[in-house]
Amino acid sequence: MRPATGRASSGGRGRRMRPVIGSPERERLLGLVVDLILRDGMIDISLSAVARRIGSNNRMLLYYFGSKEALLDEAAMRAYERFPKLRALFERLAEPGDIEHRLFRAWDDLSAPENHSYLRLFFQRFGIAMRESDDWGGFIERAGISWVERVEVQLRGAGFADSACLQGAQSIVALWRGLEILLLAGTPAEQLTSAYRASVRGLVAQLHSGGVARV
């Protein structure tokens, strides 16, 4: 099978091939890479190491994915789909009910023990993206904007003042991320849940009054 036209890349910056999409073999390889990064992580993993561990080769992975960064980015997004509580997080947050209780449940979903392997993968990926921002721009944008926007929609839907919803959403997502780090570092989950709920109560009270609490 011949690679698509383009400059070959070993995963280096700025050298990409046009990937081939929509084939069973591509899906098979992607599934193997998802298994790999969930098991072993993705810190400083080279394209050659990925290929070797899944029984493939650089040429084949570049043919199907274009670059190491594109492969790992897609694999990490596909990994997210394997975690039902994460995948359904915003659907559950959008369900009817008191916004405070929905936000409590969102943290319960995020912090569930079965999600820890994905959370570790997320922060590994975030660290790599900060170091190699030119290659990971899409991930950085999603991590910094997408979740905030989705929480903001729920705060607006709960009837809070538009002027406060963006800052409130930023506070909530920042709280999630900070507590996730502490959770992975070994802080007891019940302590983090208690701290989270106290912060959310304060935030929601401020939103009701037209302001935003500092969390």
Question: pLDDT tens-digit profile of 137-196?
Answer: 778 777 778 999 999 999 999 999 999 999 999 999 999 999 999 999 999 999 999 999
CA neighbor of 95 nearest in space, from 109, 74, 81: 109
pLDDT tens for 36-73 read 999 999 887 899 999 999 999 999 999 999 999 899 99
Encoded tokens for 54: 């899944």
Neighbours of 137 (CB within 10 A): 12
CATH number of 84-208: 1.10.357
DSSP class of residue 55? T
SS3 call for 17: strand
The answer to whether the beta carbons of residues 171 and 212 sit under 8 Å apart is yes
Residue 11 gets which letter from DSSP? Answer: S
Domain range annotation of the chain:
1-82, 84-208
